[in-house]
């Protein structure tokens, strides 16, 4: 079944500084797409003026969840149910910047895949010890199973019918992306581990969830060689 429309959901909690770049990049990616694209920003309990930086063409949903999983789920529930089974749902993070062909490349994979899991690259390592960057790069690019195997809410797409079949995103404060992909995999979804679709994201330490990607970067600062070896073996 060909994809006939795309819904992009971006959860944001106090992201006035980073969200404009994210949304501009998404608008560029949407303009290169041959099917209609809806861009939705889910503003979750924002108090920093995030609402004032939303450009024209982006739909806004205000919630008070303080929960990224529930914010993503609400965005797709509120805007996606009317789109039908042949829509493509995709999501990124407010501190991330997609490439101009981000949506189009996902749709190429969607010809044969139900899910597209892309990768991330760090925008700026300033403020981090060189050892943290080295450790991150070494662990991130070690593919013991012949594929990258990473799951990022900043770079994830799924066919609408598969999304609904497993119940969508769960109301989790973190790892809602990993949880969704696990359930999709268990349901037999065909997952494309697309190393050639990357988004640029921040290496900030003060993330919007208790752990998440920022927590992973923090943990790398205290990872021992033994812990790294154990992680690579997983």
Q: pLDDT tens digits, residue range 189-216?
A: 999 999 999 999 986 546 465 555 555 5
Among residues 77, 81, 88, which one has the least CA distance to residue 34? 88
Handedness of CA 107, 108, 111, 114 (dihedral sign): negative
Which segment of 27-36, 93-102, 134-143 scores lowest on mean pLDDT? 134-143
Of 174, 179, 150, 180, the closest CA to residue 162 belongs to 180
pTM of the model: 0.85
Note the pLDDT of residue 233. 38
Q: What's the CA gap between 101 and 91, in Å, rounded?
A: 15
Domain 5-233 belongs in CATH node 3.30.1330.200: no
What would the pLDDT profile of 50-63 be if each residue is shown by its tens digit?
A: 999 999 999 999 99
In this structure, what are the phi and psi dihedrals at residue 56, rounded to the nearest 5 degrees? -60, 145
Give the sign of the dihedral formed by CA 37, CA 13, CA 121, CA 173.
Answer: negative
| pLDDT exceeds cutoff 90 at 138 | no
Listed by start position, the domains of the chain span 5-233
pLDDT digits 0-9 by tens, 76-130: 999 999 999 999 999 999 999 999 999 999 999 999 999 999 999 887 776 667 7
> What are the C-alpha distances in Å from 16 to residues 19, 51, 94, 129, 231?
6, 8, 9, 27, 35
């Amino acid at each position: 079944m060909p994809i006939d429309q795309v819904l992009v959901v971006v959860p944001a909690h106090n992201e006035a500084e980073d969200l404009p770049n994210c949304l501009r990049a998404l608008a560029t990616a949407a303009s290169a797409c041959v099917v209609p694209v809806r861009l939705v920003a889910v503003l979750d309990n924002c108090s920093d003026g995030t609402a004032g930086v939303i450009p024209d063409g982006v739909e806004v949903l205000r919630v008070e969840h303080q929960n990224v999983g529930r914010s993503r789920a609400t965005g797709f529930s509120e805007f996606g149910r009317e789109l039908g089974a042949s829509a493509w749902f995709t999501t990124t993070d407010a501190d991330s910047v997609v490439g101009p062909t981000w949506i189009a490349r996902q749709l190429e994979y969607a010809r044969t895949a139900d899910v597209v899991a892309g990768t991330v690259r760090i925008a700026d390592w300033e403020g981090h010890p060189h050892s943290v960057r080295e450790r991150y790069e070494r662990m991130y690019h070690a593919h013991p199973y012949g594929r990258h195997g990473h799951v990022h809410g900043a770079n994830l797409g799924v066919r609408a019918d598969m999304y609904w079949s497993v119940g969508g995103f769960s109301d989790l404060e973190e790892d809602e992306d990993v949880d969704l992909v696990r359930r999709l995999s268990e349901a037999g979804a065909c997952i494309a581990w697309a190393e050639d679709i990357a988004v640029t994201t921040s290496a900030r330490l003060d993330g919007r969830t208790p752990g998440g990607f920022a927590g992973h970067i923090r943990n790398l600062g205290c990872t021992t060689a033994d812990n790294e070896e154990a992680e690579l073996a997983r």
